[in-house]
Structure formats: structure tokens, C-alpha cells
Amino acid sequence: MPQHTRLLPATPVGMTDAAKLLAAGELVAFPTETVYGLGGDARSDIACARIFEAKGRPQFNPLIVHVPDLAAARGFAEVGDEAERLAAAFWPGPLTLVLPLRTDAGLSPLVTAGLGTVAVRVPAHPLAQALLRAFGGPLAAPSANPSGKVSPTRAAHVMAGLAGRIAAVVDGGDCAVGVESTILGLAGEPVLLRPGGLPVEALEACLGAPLATGGDAAKPSAPGQLASHYAPGAALRLEVTAPEVGEVWLGFGPGCTGAALTLSETGDLVEAAANLFHLLREADTLAGPGGRIAVAPVPERGLGRAINDRLRRAAAPRP
Ligand code: TXA
Ligand code: MG
């Protein structure tokens, strides 16, 4: 049954209200520095079940557990030496670590999808931090969009996708990073499970070795590894320098004069990442039903990898 979804202000009263709803097993979407998360008590089966229900998400995708700091993370996961080093360097921030699950973690099995590992993240956004501290427990929080849709980077995006299906949204304005966290598997040898807001180069510099890339779209043990996970409604064509008539051209860099929308005029990958999801939405709207979007080439370095990863998923054939 549809419920009224409250838009909560970024104030102490807003945080108290959000924490009360979470304590009652309700879902509250909140801003992080990457994208908006759909938060629910990670210890509560009902809250976690509601997350899957609200998103219409395939159940084999486990959820990321959000905690305020490394000390809290130690309560749920076995934090080894490498994880300690990475956490010291990059937490709080857009890095998720997949670690061995503690047997006494007390998390809902829905969070880990029955795996012996858990994905843990310490978000840097001050409102995410304030909410975690007001709530006083771990929050399971996938991106706050219906499954298979573009991740939200504004409260209005969350409302557009999930109004009527969740209790509230904390309005914290635009997300600064704009793509999801980088996910690093640390349950064995370090393996990159999802490129994201923290450049792989930074992880490799900290680890002192090149990173293996894990994950298999055919066998989605994890991430947005379902091939068309980020699909907008329109068809996407990538690496387009000369769009065809009828295509909405999404440009990148100074060469794309005449593009309807531009990820970054100056070719700045950080700016492009911050714009990616909302411009995909706008392009989708401009293209209309059965329409087509053509995307300019984006260099495969730094955040360009995360951007291209999302674009390739968005362009993949639909199931
Ligand atoms: O930036 C982010 O990470 C955002 C914000 C809200 O924090 N969250 C996010 O969550 O992107 P979500 O649920 O959309 O993506 C989490 C990914 C999933 O694709 C899931 O399969 C993977 O993390 N994951 C979670 N637990 C895992 C585990 N134990 N092993 C491998 N992958 C895991
Ligand atoms: Mg997602």
C-alpha cells in the first residue's frame, strides 16, 4: 500500500525524526558524498526486506553496511592489516571494503545475502555521519533508486523513484562525488569489485601493488554487475563523436559544441562524474519514449573508468 513519504530538512530535528523512523524499522533515504542511500536498520530483517521490496531489487545483491567510523566497523567485520591501512587512508570516504563477517555481527542475513563476507562503508557526508550517530546503529543502504534505474544524486531523484514506497527522504542537496563508492574485496587477495568514486590508482598506491579486477557480469556475486543495471529508458550509443539526427548527444570536453547536454565542458572527469546520473536522466527525458542517446567518448582513466563502467551497463542489451 502506498505510504506518505516525508521530505525531512537537514536540521537536528530532521535527524531526530529520521532516526526515530529508522528505529521503527522504516526506510529513510539520506545523502552520502557519492549518491543517496536507501537506509534501513542493518540488524532488522523486516527493514532489510523492505529495502528489497522498495527497490524491487534482485535478492542476490547483498547490501552495503554504513557505519560512522572504523571502530564501529570492527563490530561487524574482521578488519585485517590491509583493511586497517586502507581505512586510515580513505575513511571516511567513497571506499567500500568487503571483509570477512564476524560471527557475532548481529546483522540481518538479508544484508549479506547469506555470504560469509560483509561490505562496509564509512561515508564522509556530514548528514550521513549525523544520521548514523543519531540512529546509533549500522544502516544497510543501497543506492536509493528502483532496481535497474539510475542512482539518485538529489532528493528530488529519490522522490521521483521511491515516493510512496519509503517513509522519508533527508534533503541534503546535490551529492558531491556523483558515482557510487569504489568496492574492494579484502576477504582474500585484494580485488576490485566495482570502480567508483575513489580512483583505483589511489588504492594501488596505498596497497603498493596493481589490483586484480574481480566480478563477472554473468555471475553477479556482487555489485551493479547485472549487465543493464544502470539502464535509462532510451537506447544508448557510446563513443560518439558525430551524433545522428534524432539522437540526444551527451557531450564531454570542449570538442562537443552542439551537444544537447555536457558532462563537463572542460573535460574534467570529477565534474563529469558529479553530473553523470542527473544528465542521463535529463537525456532520457529529452529523448522520450523509444528515443536514443549518443554519448561522447570519456577517457578510461581515474573517475573515467567508473563513468565508462556505468555507461557500458546503461548501453548493454536489456533483459
Ligand atoms: O556509494 C555507495 O556505495 C552507495 C551509497 C548509498 O553508499 N551505495 C551503493 O549500494 O551503491 P548498492 O547496494 O547500490 O551497491 C552495493 C554493491 C552491490 O552491488 C552488492 O552486490 C555489493 O555492493 N556487495 C555488497 N555486499 C557484498 C559482498 N559481501 N560481497 C561482494 N559484493 C557485495
Ligand atoms: Mg545501486
- What phi, psi does 122 have (nearest 5°)? -110, 100
Q: Which of 148, 158, 146 is nearest to 32 (CA)?
A: 158
Answer yes or no: is the C-beta of 153 below 6 A from any ligand 1 atom.
no
CA of 152 to the centre of ligand 2 (A): 9
Average pLDDT for residues 15-24, to the nearest whole number?
Answer: 98
What is the per-residue pLDDT for 184?
96
CA of 65 to the centre of ligand 1 (A): 8
- Ligand 1 pocket mutation, candidates 57, 64, 276, 277, criterion most atoms within 8 A of CB: 64
The fraction of the chain above a pLDDT of 70, given in percent, is 91
| Residue ID of nearest Cα to ligand 1 atom 13 | 142
| Residue ID of nearest Cα to ligand 1 atom 22 | 223
What is the per-residue pLDDT for 58?
54
Sole residue written with cell 547483498: 62
pLDDT range class, residue 4, cuts 50, 70, 90: very high
Of the listed ligands, the closest to the CA of 194 is 1
What is the per-residue pLDDT for 216?
43
State how beta strands 191-194 and 182-185 pair: antiparallel
pLDDT tens digits for 27-65?
Answer: 999 999 999 999 999 998 889 888 888 887 654 478 999
Atom of ligand 1 nearest to the CA of 117: 29
Q: Is 294 a residue whose pLDDT tops 80?
A: yes
pLDDT range class, residue 185, cuts 50, 70, 90: very high
Average pLDDT for residues 237-246, to the nearest whole number?
Answer: 95
What is the per-residue pLDDT for 57?
64
| Residue ID of nearest Cα to ligand 1 atom 18 | 223
**Model pTM score:** 0.82
Under 8 Å between Cβ of 241 and 232: no
pLDDT range class, residue 215, cuts 50, 70, 90: low
pLDDT tens digits for 80-123?
Answer: 999 999 999 999 999 999 999 998 999 987 788 767 899 999 99
Answer yes or no: is the C-beta of 39 below 6 A from any ligand 1 atom.
no
Please, which residues have CB less than 5 A from ligand 2, an ion?
143
Q: Which amino acid is at 156?
A: A
Of the listed ligands, the closest to the CA of 114 is 1
What is the per-residue pLDDT for 218?
37
The C-alpha atoms of residue 190 and residue 298 are separated, in whole angstroms, by 27
CA of 211 to the centre of ligand 1 (A): 19
CA of 257 to the centre of ligand 2 (A): 32
Answer yes or no: is the C-beta of 61 below 6 A from any ligand 1 atom.
yes
pLDDT tens digits for 278-288?
Answer: 798 899 999 99
Under 8 Å between Cβ of 34 and 152: no
Average pLDDT for residues 291-319, to the nearest whole number?
Answer: 86
pLDDT tens digits for 120-176?
Answer: 999 999 999 999 999 999 999 999 999 889 999 999 999 999 999 999 999 999 999
